[in-house]
Structure 1
Amino acid sequence: MQNEQERLIQKIELLIQNNNAKLVDLDENINKISFTFTEEKDKKIINIIYPYKEKYIIAKEDITQVYNFLNTIFLSFVALGLCALSLIIFYSFFISKIFATYLHHLSLKISKFDDNVSNLLEQKEYPYELKELIININHLVKRIQNYNLTQKELFIGIAHELKTPLAVIKTKNDVTLMKDRDIQYYKDTINQTNNSVNNMNNIISSVLKIGRQEGAQFEESKELDIIKLIEKECKNYALLGIKNGQKLQCKHELSSLNMKIQSTLFIQILSNFIQNAFKFSPANSTIYLNTYVEDKQFILEVLDNGDGVDENNDYFAPFKRYGKKDGVGLGLFLSKQAATALKAKISLENRKDSKGAIAKLIMNVK
Structure 2
Amino acid sequence: ETGKSTRLKGNYPYELKQLTENINALLDHEQSRRQRYKNSLADLAHSLKTPLSVFRGELSNNHDINDLKKVGYEQLDRISTLVDYQLQRASTEGKSSLLAPVSLGEIIHKICSSLDKVYKNKNVSAQCEIERDALIHADEGDMFELLGNLLENAYKYSHRQVHVIATTTAETVKIRIEDDGAGIPARAANYVIKRGNRIDTQAEGQGIGLAIVSDIIMAYEGSIDLERGRLGGASFTIELPRH
SS at match of 2:227: strand
- What does residue range 176-325 of structure 1 map to in structure 2 within 5 Å? 205-206=45-46, 213-215=89-91, 221-252=99-130, 254-282=131-159, 285-294=160-169, 296-313=171-188, 314-323=191-200, 324-325=202-203
User: How many corresponding residue pairs?
Assistant: 177
Distance 1:294 1:204 in 2: 33
RMSD across aligned positions (CA): 3.8
Distance 1:204 1:306 in 2: 27
SS at match of 2:116: helix
SS at match of 2:165: strand
Distance 2:123 2:182 in 1: 18
Q: Which amino acid aligns with 2:142?
A: L
In structure 1, the residue matched to 2:76 is none
- Confirm or deny: 8 A CA contact 2:104 2:136 kept in the other structure: yes
Distance 2:194 2:132 in 1: 35
SS at match of 1:346: strand
Select which of 236, 239, 243 maps to 1:359.
Answer: 236
Q: Specify every segment of 5 or more residues in structure 1 that has no aligned partner in the other structure, as ranges.
A: 1-111, 117-143, 159-200
Shift of 1:223: 2.0
Percent identical across equivalent pairs? 15
- What does residue range 60-209 of structure 1 map to in structure 2 within 5 Å? 151=35, 205-206=45-46
- Confirm or deny: 8 A CA contact 2:136 2:173 kept in the other structure: no
Shift of 1:271: 0.5
Distance 2:165 2:207 in 1: 25
Distance 1:275 1:303 in 2: 11
Shift of 1:291: 0.6
Q: TM-score, normalised by structure 1?
A: 0.41
Describe the shift of the 1:272–1:211 C-alpha distance in structure 2 as closer, same or farther (beyond 3 A).
Answer: same
Distance 1:295 1:312 in 2: 32
- Confirm or deny: 8 A CA contact 1:210 1:334 kept in the other structure: no
Q: TM-score, normalised by structure 2?
A: 0.59
Shift of 1:239: 2.4
Structure with bigger RCO (C-alpha 8 Å, 6+ apart): 2
Q: Specify every segment of 5 or more residues in structure 2 that has no aligned partner in the other structure, as ranges.
A: 1-20, 48-82
Shift of 1:294: 4.8
Greater gyration radius = 1
Describe the shift of the 1:343–1:247 C-alpha distance in structure 2 as closer, same or farther (beyond 3 A).
Answer: same
Describe the shift of the 1:295–1:310 C-alpha distance in structure 2 as closer, same or farther (beyond 3 A).
Answer: farther
- Confirm or deny: 8 A CA contact 1:221 1:263 kept in the other structure: no
Describe the shift of the 1:349–1:215 C-alpha distance in structure 2 as closer, same or farther (beyond 3 A).
Answer: farther
Shift of 1:204: 8.8
Distance 2:165 2:198 in 1: 26
Shift of 1:249: 1.3
- Confirm or deny: 8 A CA contact 1:277 1:302 kept in the other structure: yes
Shift of 1:331: 0.7
- Confirm or deny: 8 A CA contact 2:165 2:177 kept in the other structure: yes
Describe the shift of the 1:257–1:246 C-alpha distance in structure 2 as closer, same or farther (beyond 3 A).
Answer: closer
Distance 1:114 1:360 in 2: 41
Indicate whether 1:332 and 2:210 are aligned.
yes
